[in-house]
Amino acid sequence: MSAAVAEIIAISLTLNGRAHSARVAPQMMLADFLRDACGLTGTKIGCDQATCGACTVLVDGAPLAACATFAWQIDGCTVTTIEGLATNAALDPVQEAFKAKSAFQCGYCTPGMILLAKALLAANPSPDHAAIRDWISANVCRCTGYQMIVEAVEDAARRLREAAR
């Protein structure tokens, strides 16, 4: 294996609600750490330039491009990937909304979009159309033309508000 690795860094984090510790090479990216070391392949790599957003994960609740984040940078953080949303086989309301509204096609951007939407709804439980469009413009979906995603996020907001009542 690679002899160029200068040192291995020990990290600990909360990954999808569970304490996790690992030893990572300094150049390992978070996306590779999640996919290759943790087997969480729901995080997808698209452009690998922190631009398309397919690799979006939540770090301490904020959306982050895992392809452009070193694994060691999340030491001590709480990380949520798409695999961490559904609990006891029940989908998260945002997942439910994407499913109900068919707000996906090839599905490659979907995990990132759902996590991006989670972050929006945590910050703003009742976003209007314009706010949703603005927010999800952080990520690329090449299939859907976005409108059905906007509608799904709106639907998710409604579901979350109803669940909170």
- Residue bearing tokens 């995080």: 43
Closest separation between CB of residue 125 and other proteins, Å?
Answer: 19
Q: Are 9 and 24 in contact (CB under 8 A)?
A: yes
Q: At what angle do helices 147-164 and 93-100 cross, to 10 degrees?
A: 140
Whose Cβ is closer to other proteins: residue 3's or residue 6's?
A: 3
Please return the burial class of 17, using the count of CB atoms within 10 Å of its CB with bins 0-12, 13-18 and 19+: exposed
Q: Which of residues 76-135 bind other proteins (CB under 8 A)?
A: 81-83, 85-86, 91, 95, 98-102, 104-111, 114, 132-134
Whose Cβ is closer to other proteins: residue 12's or residue 124's?
A: 124
> Phi and psi dihedrals of 102, rounded to 5?
50, 50
Note the residues at the interface with other proteins (CB under 8 A). Answer: 1-4, 27, 35, 40-52, 54, 81-83, 85-86, 91, 95, 98-102, 104-111, 114, 132-134, 136-137, 140, 142-150
